Structure 1
């Protein structure tokens, strides 16, 4: 068996976790009832789904740390500080001779 920290295995595991997260999210989306309708899932099932998402996220963080990758965060436009600075413009006073 290969070393469990090999990059190829971690990459494969990351791919599996990503697909599992997407499929689980799609299932949740498909069974989420419209407003006013009862949820078809039991409370215990909802707790289990949340736990699955938590375990997937925790393992993805562990794998990223093992690879020395920076923590992944969502990017929101406008989140980063602007590099431009606001400059005050002042009109010159008019000369009486013009």
Structure 2
């Protein structure tokens, strides 16, 4: 596994800070958002740029294809031990 660079640590910190701000100021359904539409678009652009750069750096390090997942999400691949597979009678 490759050590993360200063740039990667910075991008992670910026992404986490922006998403925490969004969570903190998001109003309940039906209430008006405190940010203007222009500010919302700028935050989306920032998060998009951060994600794109993180992906570029991951690909440069050979870590491409990583995706976030939920802890209760079923994996696409299921490992099966060979000793649990039974042979069919001939």
Cα 1:68–1:37 shift into 2, 3 Å: same
Q: Which runs of 5+ in 1 are unaligned?
A: 1-6, 88-98
Could you say which residue in structure 1 is the equivalent of 2:45? 51
Could you say which residue in structure 2 is the equivalent of 1:69? 63
Larger Rg: 1
**1:86 CA drift (Å):** 8.6
Per the normalisation by structure 1, the TM-score is 0.69
| Pairwise CA RMSD | 2.4
Q: Which runs of 5+ in 2 are unaligned?
A: none
**1:83 CA drift (Å):** 3.2
Q: Distance in 1 between matches of 2:19 and 2:60?
A: 26
Per the normalisation by structure 2, the TM-score is 0.74
Could you say which residue in structure 2 is the equivalent of 1:19? 13
